[in-house]
Structures are given as structure tokens and as C-alpha cells.
Structure 1
Amino acid sequence: MKNKMNIKDPRASRSRQALLDAGIQAFLQNPNASLTEVATFAGVGRATLYRHFETREQLIQEMAKESLIQIDKAMAPIYEKNLKGSFAIKAMFEVSMPVADRFHFLLSLWNIANEDTKVREIYDRQLNEINTLVEQGKRAGEIKSDMTTTWIVTLIDCLIYAGWWSIKDGHLDAKSASELAIASLFGGIQT
């Protein structure tokens, strides 16, 4: 599905971004929000929203892509510093927990987001990057080699989501969620 608006036009691009931001806020409050509710939240008419996003699913998928790209941006300094293995995994928790306020909506809407090929492509690449970090940690003797990498990657992914839920529910702040995720993970896999 193509967006009807030319997102290369700066005004249309700003409008689209404002709608994505409003969508994230609306879905954070109510994962079942309709496009009408998102338009109201954004302070625009439904026609404006529909010029950018034809369906609720398309909006959710675009928000998911943006969320995953933001995770990439948060991870960029880790890769620029050439952190490897367990050091990079720990840093990943530290940069991913502070974005919980924008991205935990994905937890309840992932089934819709995951239907988009580009969303799956970005997410699979990110999981492969974590896979590489785990393998580096295993080779360095920082991570138990008798646990499958797939299991550890899934555990890391689940700990990120657990942290996001705990932050959303007000049980933890981002720093505490990061510390607990690191302690949980490495208390179970570190040699």
C-alpha cells in the first residue's frame, strides 16, 4: 500500500510525522484506538489522516518501522564504539529501556506490525545483530556455550519487552529496568 501524500514535500513530511507521533501516543493509551481517535488525538480531521494512511494497519506498520529505526539509531553509538559481545549487549539494554515510553505499544500490536515485509526485515536484521553479539560473547568466554544462541537472543528480546512493560506500568524507571535486565540475563548465562 502506498501513502497518498508525497512525503518528500517538507510540509507533508512534518504532517506525516505529527500523525505518527499522535498515533504512538493514542495507541500507548489505547491499543484498540481507531483512525478517528488517532485523528482526534492529532488534532486533525480524518481526511488529513487518510491522505497519509489508508488503513489502521498501515499506520501501525509505519509506526513499527519508525520504532525499529529509532532502535537502530540508539544502537549506532554502540557499533561505532565497536563494542562486542557482552559489553555491547549490556549497552543495548541501557539504550533500549529509555525508549519504552514510545515503543511498548508494539507489544500489543505486533501481530499487525509483523504483517509488513519491511517491519519483519528490520526486526529480523536486529535479531541477527543480537545473534552476532551473543556469538562474540561465546567466543570470548563471556557467555555459556552450552546454551543455544537462539534461546539467548529470544531471552534478550523478552527482557527488553519485560523492561518496557515494567516502565509503562510505573514499576521501574529506565535505569532500573536496564540494570535488572542485565542482571537477569548475565546471572543466567555468564560463565
Structure 2
Amino acid sequence: MLTRSQVLDAALRRLNSDPTTSMADLAAAIGIGRATLNRHFASRDALLREIGERALDHWSRSQDETGMVAAGESGDPERIRNCLRELTTWFVENADEFAYALANNRMEAMPELMARTNELIDREVEFYACAQRAGVLRSDLPARWIEHTVYGLMIAAREALRRGDVARRDLDALVFSTLLVGTGDSR
């Protein structure tokens, strides 16, 4: 018998490859009955909420484990650049593992997920502002625009992986270099 976590993992893998999969087809793809899936997740929204929470946990962990706040506060360009490189690796991993959650409009309608999303975005925007002050990122762009740019790169990464346009092993470097060329300080 699969645990709730295993069911969630399998559901996420299926939804990453086919976001329109119905709950019945999802259960069949996982290898369980619809009733079993409903015991774990009473509705599609309950499943989406848990996927969203897991994606946000990963995102929050990326900020914590890279020392993003401390790196930004240090003002040290090298430390900030290294943190940005590590964050990019985490972001690509998040885009790969949680592709379905990355741009799901139904999740955006869940206030508790959006509140947490906004908190994480605000922390990143502050980090990007620190990176601008340190000369790592262009200072002529709004820090929020840089955040939107990073999000756009994650959508691009997700699509490149989904379509097989880019090898996964190359994606971290591609995203990081694209970010720095587009938003890096050219002085």
C-alpha cells in the first residue's frame, strides 16, 4: 500500500507530464483506485493545495539553505553571486520537480498559498535589491522586475525540459548565465 507521500509524489509526476489528467486517470496512472486516491485527497483542490505547499516548502528551503538573507546583508559581491548561483540551481530543481505547481492558476486562487508565495517573493526581491547595491545585478532595473525575470526563466526551464530541448545537466548553467547577462551589471 502506498503512503500519502508516495501517492502525492506519483500524482505530481503525472501532473507534470499531463496537467489536464482527471482524478480518475490520475488514480489509474498511480496504480490505485479512485476511492483510495480520494481517501488521501478528498478533492482535486486538496491535492493541489498539498502540491502547492510542498513546492513552497522547497522554495523556502532554498532561501534558507543558501543563506540568501545573510548573503544579501553582507553586501559582499562574491558571496552574493555565489548565493545567486546556488539559488538558481534550487530554482531549476523546483521547476523540474514542481512544474505543475509553477504556473497553476487554481493554486493562485488559494489565499493561504498566495500569502506564503508573496512572503517568499518579498524576501527574494530584497535579496535582488542587495545584489543590485553590490553591483552583481543591474541597478537600472526594478528589483521586482528581476524577480519576474527569474520566474520567467523557471517557466522557460520547465518547458525546455518538458520538450526535451535542453539536457537537464546543462540547465543550471544556462539559467544562471542567462540571468546574469540579462540582469547583470555590465559596467
Bucket of the pairwise TM-score, normalised by the shorter protein: 0.7 to 0.9
Question: 117, 141, 145: which is aligned to 1:123?
Answer: 117
2:138 equivalent in structure 1: 144
Are 1:106 and 2:101 counterparts?
yes
Tell whether 2:157 aligns with 1:163: yes
- Give the fraction of aligned pairs with identical amino acids, expressed as a percent: 21
Aligned length: 178
Amino acid paired to 1:179: A
Q: Measure, in 2, the Cα distance between the counterparts of 1:80 and 1:133.
A: 7
Going from structure 1 to structure 2, the CA distance change for 1:101 and 1:182 (only over 3 Å counts) comes to closer
CA contact (8 A) 1:89 1:133 kept: no
Whole-angstrom distance in 1 between the partners of 2:129 and 2:169: 26
* Aligned position for 2:84: 89
Give unmatched runs, 5+ long, in structure 2: 73-79
Secondary structure at the counterpart of residue 66 of structure 2: helix
Partner deviation per Cα, 1:3-23 (whole Å, 9 max, x = no partner): xxxxxxxx9xx7221221121
Q: Which residue of 1 aligns with 2:41?
A: 53
**TM-score, normalised relative to structure 1:** 0.82
Given that 1:61 and 1:114 are in contact with CA atoms closer than 8 Å, whether structure 2 keeps it comes out as: no
CA separation of 1:188 and 1:101: change in aligned 2, threshold 3 A = closer
Specify whether residues 32 and 181 from structure 1 end up closer, same or farther in structure 2 by C-alpha distance, changes over 3 A only. Answer: same
Q: What is the CA deviation profile of residues 103-136 of structure 1, one whole-angstrom value per residue up to 9, with x for unaligned ones?
A: 112245x101111122212221221121011111
**TM-score, structure 2 length as denominator?**
0.83
Query: 1:33 deviation in Å?
Result: 0.8
Q: Distance in 1 between matches of 2:48 and 2:69?
A: 33
Deviation at 1:61, TM superposition (A): 2.1
For the aligned residue pairs, the C-alpha RMSD in angstroms reads 2.3
Q: Which residue matches 2:77?
A: none
Aligned-partner Cα distance in 2 for 1:46–1:83: 47
Runs of 4+ in 1 over 4 A off after TM superposition: none
Counterpart position of 1:65: 53
Q: Which residue of 1 aligns with 2:148?
A: 154
Summarize the Cα distance change of 1:42–1:18 in structure 2 as closer, same or farther, 3 Å threshold: same
Unaligned runs of 5+ in 1: 1-10
Q: Tell me if structure 2 keeps the 8 A contact 1:137–1:143.
A: yes
Residue type of the alignment partner of 1:112: R
